[in-house]
Amino acid sequence: MTSFAEHPLLAGLEPAAVQQLLAAGRERRLPAGTTLLREGDPGDGLYILQEGTVEISLPGASPGARMLAKLGPGAVFGEMAILEEKPRSAAAVARTEVRVWFVPREAVLGAIRQSPELGLRLLRELSRRLREFNRVYVEQTLQMERLALLGRFARGIIHDLKSPLNVIQLAAEMGLHPSASEERRTQARERIRRQVERITDSINEILLFTEGGSGAETFAPTPYGPFLESVLEELATETTLRGVSLAYAARTFPQTPVRLQPRRLRRVLQNLVHNACDVLAAGGRIEVRAARRDDQVVTEVRDNGPGIAPEIRDRLFEPFATHGKAQGTGLGLSICRRIVEDHGGVIEAENAPEGGAVFRFWLPVWKVGDSAEKSGS
């Protein structure tokens, strides 16, 4: 653009209004880094950018830190303070050497009186600018929320890995001790192997949760009692390290076969027991029960902790819902629900009348004729 008079803002206006703007306007050439507008300053006039780049930033932010817009030749700015008769609400900084036309406020208002069409055009420009500001602001806010969520997510994953890593460290110390027997070394290797598998399963489950799907592991009819007992034996070692007792009566577990993905269902029990440990003080107690009811097997994980907080009860199984935990992704119970539902079951939670929380999930009993390797939904 070579002339202020050629700008679309003036095209077709009343000649008297155009003449008033041209008479009052003056050209300014400013070096890069010049602040044209400061937040809080009075609205002294209208700017039309002829050459260069100007950056509009949020109040109180250093230039570029919360940028709302980057303007190029032909852009109009400064109109909001004129129309509102209020101080500037944003800062404008020249990012390159710029050439601008500046028209004082009184001349702009006089031209609007001469030609209401000018006022309408300024309002349209203001509306367009506000829409763009809102879009950029929403994008920046969402980006900040994503980064905050990523930080929480990373801390939660680290938190979830601490338990198996502690077991690995303890098993390694026992197995590598000079006086350790061959039996003790074998036990240590087995414990380490199981914990490495657990870490791998946890990572895979999180990946599956974010990507969707139920994994490549096939379903197989599995006697439920032995499966549950083996998982709880492994978890009992961890709860003991945290000063919490894990009680169960394996002889009462149903021996009926259930169509399982064993590694994934193990994750459900691990999450429920670890969540209970997180809210229990030293000396706390967790009890696991299992029974067959008609064509289903029901498993309960009970604790004597403070129970489920009312603030989160209705969204307990939603992704990223968490309450009262310094660490945690808020994905644990969502993962549990997905796994149980992939097995054709249902999971629920409630506060027990005698205190503490009860998590309960049902799984269908496998029957002859059922598809043993049917994939989850």
- Model confidence at 376, in pLDDT bands (50, 70, 90)? very low
The domain boundary residue, chosen from 99, 114, 129: 114
**For residue 96, pLDDT beyond 90:** yes
Q: Is residue 172 a part of any domain in this protein?
A: no
| Residue listed under structure tokens 């034996």 | 233
The predicted structure's pLDDT at residue 214 = 60
221 and 355 assigned to the same domain: yes
Residue 101 belongs to a domain with what CATH number? 2.60.120.10
- CA separation for the pair 108, 20 (Å, rounded): 8
Residue 230 belongs to a domain with what CATH number? 3.30.565.10
Backbone torsions φ then ψ of 119, nearest 5 degrees: -60, -40
Q: Is residue 303 a part of any domain in this protein?
A: yes
What is the DSSP secondary structure assignment for residue 281, as one 8-state letter?
A: P
Q: Is residue 266 a part of any domain in this protein?
A: yes
Question: For 218-230, what is each residue's pLDDT tens digit?
Answer: 889 999 999 999 9
239 and 109 assigned to the same domain: no
The predicted structure's pLDDT at residue 211 = 57
Q: Is residue 244 a part of any domain in this protein?
A: yes
109 and 224 assigned to the same domain: no
Question: For 21-35, what is each residue's pLDDT tens digit?
Answer: 888 989 999 999 999
216 and 346 assigned to the same domain: yes
Q: Is residue 119 a part of any domain in this protein?
A: no
224 and 356 assigned to the same domain: yes
Question: For 179-219, what is each residue's pLDDT tens digit?
Answer: 889 998 998 898 898 888 778 766 766 776 665 556 567 88
The domain boundary residue, chosen from 114, 140, 171: 114
The domain boundary residue, chosen from 51, 85, 114: 114
The predicted structure's pLDDT at residue 304 = 94
Question: For 293-333, what is each residue's pLDDT tens digit?
Answer: 999 999 999 999 999 988 888 888 877 665 555 444 457 78
- CA separation for the pair 79, 52 (Å, rounded): 19
77 and 216 assigned to the same domain: no
Question: For 51-72, what is each residue's pLDDT tens digit?
Answer: 999 998 875 544 445 677 889 9
The predicted structure's pLDDT at residue 18 = 85
33: left (phi over 0), alpha (psi -120 to 50) or beta: left
Per-residue pLDDT averaged across 76-84, rounded?
Answer: 83
pTM score above 0.85: no
The distance in angstroms from the start CA to the end CA of the chain is: 61
- CA separation for the pair 19, 46 (Å, rounded): 16
222 and 353 assigned to the same domain: yes
Let me know: does 257 contact 270? Beta carbons within 8 Å.
no
Q: Is residue 187 a part of any domain in this protein?
A: no
Task: Domain count for the chain, please give it.
Answer: 2
Q: Is residue 216 a part of any domain in this protein?
A: yes
246 and 103 assigned to the same domain: no
Q: Is residue 203 a part of any domain in this protein?
A: no
The predicted structure's pLDDT at residue 64 = 44
Which stretch of 82-91, 186-195, 255-264, 321-330 has the lowest confidence by average pLDDT?
Answer: 321-330
Q: What is the mean pLDDT of the chain?
A: 83
Domain that holds residue 28: 4-114
